[in-house]
């Protein structure tokens, strides 16, 4: 396996969950957790390392406070800091992105948190980063939560469900029911309309996903990036002002590669859902 380094910026709960998933998936030679609280980053890296013999992975975990660790990294994950500071966002997050982009001009910047929409937006429109390079993965965690809810209603395994979610969380979540399949069958042929209406109403309650779901979602997207898997993910993507009012980010389907987003996919929406999405983007 070629030498691959993934850097996770932060040592909070989301950062630890992401690092654990990346290590167990053996997607990188090294996973480096970077946090101003170096001892916390080192402690969590050690904790994950001690699970390696149990789960049989050999990924090297390192904790440090040195942001220069991003130099040469294949992927950089912006997660959450240890302590009350929480997710990298707002001015501190933007300053971090500026520093990281200066240290590493190639790596994709994956935002794993739920409060980083404006960070994605400002990195593209203020710092001039390509929108293919910085994006959020929290919508993928939301999609997983909705799939788990559908699985309970339909009494099928979550892995048997294919589902697409677009829009903006939490108030403009659009589930493309016409394209949802349950073990190969169309959801609209299996689930009664009242059940679908009830699940639409509950979707907003599933936001925000928890740290483990967010970490799993980030790792899943990174797996597709590094393995070039032909899989569509739902990502928080910055938009141009021609695509959305103000160019604000939205949850949209996309394909990814080693350097980030390869292309946005056309969402298979009904006429009604297309109008709802257009209305959401216009706000």
The separation between the first and the last C-alpha atoms of the chain, rounded to the nearest angstrom, is 46
Helices (H) and strands (E) in the chain, counts: 10, 14
Asked whether residue 132 is assigned to any structural domain, the reply reads yes
Q: What is the pLDDT of residue 246?
A: 75
Structural domain of residue 33, as residue ranges? 5-137
Enter the pTM of the model.
Answer: 0.95
Least confidently predicted of 42-46, 62-66, 78-82, 174-178: 174-178
Tokens of 79: 């997660």
Ramachandran category for residue 138: left, alpha or beta (phi over 0 → left; psi -120 to 50 → alpha): alpha
Strand partners, 8: 33, 77
Q: How large is the average pLDDT for residues 70-77? A: 98
Q: What is the pLDDT of residue 248?
A: 87
Q: What is the pLDDT of residue 183?
A: 86
Are 222 and 22 in contact by the 8 Å Cβ rule? The answer is yes
Q: What is the pLDDT of residue 113?
A: 98
Asked whether residue 200 is assigned to any structural domain, the reply reads no
Q: What is the pLDDT of residue 247?
A: 78
Q: Mention every residue, 6+ apart, whose C-beta is less than 8 A from residue 22.
A: 6, 8, 28, 31, 59, 219, 222
Asked whether residue 34 is assigned to any structural domain, the reply reads yes
Q: How many domains does the chain have?
A: 1
Taking the CA atoms of residue 10, residue 87, residue 105 and residue 63 in that order, the dihedral angle to the nearest 10 degrees is: 0
Beta strand ranges found along 151-209 (DSSP E): 161-162, 165-168, 172-175, 181-182, 185-186
Task: Give the C-alpha separation, 30 to 24, whole Å.
Answer: 12
Asked whether residue 88 is assigned to any structural domain, the reply reads yes
Are 39 and 65 in contact by the 8 Å Cβ rule? The answer is no
Question: How much of the chain, in percent, has pLDDT values that exceed 90?
Answer: 87
Residue range 211-234, pLDDT digits in tens: 999 999 999 999 999 999 989 999
Least confidently predicted of 98-112, 250-264, 266-280: 266-280
Task: Give the C-alpha separation, 68 to 44, whole Å.
Answer: 20
Q: Does the bond joining 21 to the residue before it have cis omega, within 30 degrees of 0?
A: no
| Number of Cβ within a 10 Å radius of residue 275 | 11
Q: Which of 177, 184, 194, 197 is nearest to 157 (CA)?
A: 184
Asked whether residue 49 is assigned to any structural domain, the reply reads yes
Task: Give the C-alpha separation, 189 to 11, whole Å.
Answer: 45
Q: What is the pLDDT of residue 258?
A: 95
Q: Are strands 185-186 and 250-257 parallel, antiparallel or unpaired?
A: unpaired
Q: How large is the average pLDDT for residues 128-147? A: 97
pLDDT category of residue 106 using cuts at 50, 70 and 90: very high
Averaged pLDDT score across all residues of the chain: 95
pLDDT category of residue 256 using cuts at 50, 70 and 90: very high
Q: How large is the average pLDDT for residues 245-274? A: 93
Asked whether residue 228 is assigned to any structural domain, the reply reads no
Q: Which of 155, 221, 216 is nearest to 190 (CA)?
A: 155
Q: What is the pLDDT of residue 56?
A: 92
Asked whether residue 219 is assigned to any structural domain, the reply reads no
Asked whether residue 165 is assigned to any structural domain, the reply reads no
Q: How large is the average pLDDT for residues 35-62? A: 96
CATH code at position 108 = 3.40.50.720
């Amino acid at each position: 396996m070629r030498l691959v380094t993934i850097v996770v910026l932060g040592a909070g709960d989301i950062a630890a969950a992401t690092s654990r998933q990346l290590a167990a998936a053996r997607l990188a030679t090294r996973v480096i957790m970077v946090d101003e609280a170096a001892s916390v980053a080192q402690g969590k890296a050690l904790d994950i390392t001690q699970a390696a013999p149990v789960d049989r992975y050999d990924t090297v975990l390192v904790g440090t406070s040195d942001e220069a660790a991003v130099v040469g990294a294949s992927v950089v994950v912006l997660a959450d800091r240890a302590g009350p500071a929480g997710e990298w966002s707002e001015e501190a997050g933007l300053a971090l992105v500026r520093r990281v982009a200066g240290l590493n001009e190639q790596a994709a910047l994956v935002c794993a948190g739920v409060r980083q929409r404006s960070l994605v937006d400002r990195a593209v429109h203020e710092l001039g980063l390509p929108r293919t390079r910085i994006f959020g993965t929290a919508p993928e965690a939301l999609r997983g939560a909705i799939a788990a809810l559908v699985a309970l209603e339909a009494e099928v395994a979550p892995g048997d469900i294919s589902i697409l979610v677009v829009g903006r969380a939490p108030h403009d979540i659009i589930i493309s029911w016409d394209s949802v399949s349950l073990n190969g069958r169309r959801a609209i042929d299996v689930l009664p309309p009242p059940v679908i209406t009830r699940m639409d109403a509950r979707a907003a309650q599933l936001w925000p996903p928890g740290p483990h779901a967010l970490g799993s979602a980030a790792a899943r997207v990174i797996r597709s990036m590094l393995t070039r898997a032909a899989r569509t993910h739902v990502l928080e993507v910055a938009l141009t002002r021609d695509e959305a009012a103000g160019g604000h980010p939205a949850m949209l389907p996309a394909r990814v590669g080693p350097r980030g987003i390869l292309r946005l996919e056309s969402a298979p929406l009904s006429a009604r859902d297309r109008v709802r999405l257009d209305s959401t983007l216009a706000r």
